[in-house]
Amino acid sequence: MRVRDLRMLWRLHPKALSGFMLAAAVTLFFVVRIVLSAIHWSDPAHFHEPVKSWMTIGYVAKSWHLYTKDIDAAAGLPPPVKGHPLTIRAIARQRGVPEAEIIKLVEDAVAALRKPGPKP
């Protein structure tokens, strides 16, 4: 398509072209996000990562192929509130305990959930 054709389309249908361009931009955003996520999680280096204070429980769950709610329940953590999930550091601050204590709870929960047999 030539520039002249785009100018003609803009003159004849400015709202339709604007809507199309906005939809294309939103679609591109989500496609890039999905591709980057797929690349990140297809790297074996991200499987079974040691728990760090910057991680959310969801990140830990994805790394260990577990469910977030199962880790929350096993570690005695409340389920996340609507909105942005909290990092382990933020959970420790909320509780007024050292980060290492929450990391230990999460590690113990992951270990318990990874064991074969009855789940806690």
Taking only the tens of pLDDT, the chain with its 120 residues reads: 788 888 898 899 999 999 999 999 999 999 999 999 899 888 888 888 999 999 999 999 999 999 999 999 999 988 877 778 899 999 999 999 999 999 999 999 999 998 876 555
Co-location of 106 and 51 in the same domain: yes
Q: Is 120 contained in some domain?
A: no
Co-location of 19 and 50 in the same domain: no
Co-location of 9 and 23 in the same domain: yes
Domain that holds residue 93: 46-114
Given CA atoms 8, 12, 14, 18 in this order, what sign does their dihedral have?
negative
User: Token digits for 31?
Assistant: 């496609």
Co-location of 7 and 24 in the same domain: yes
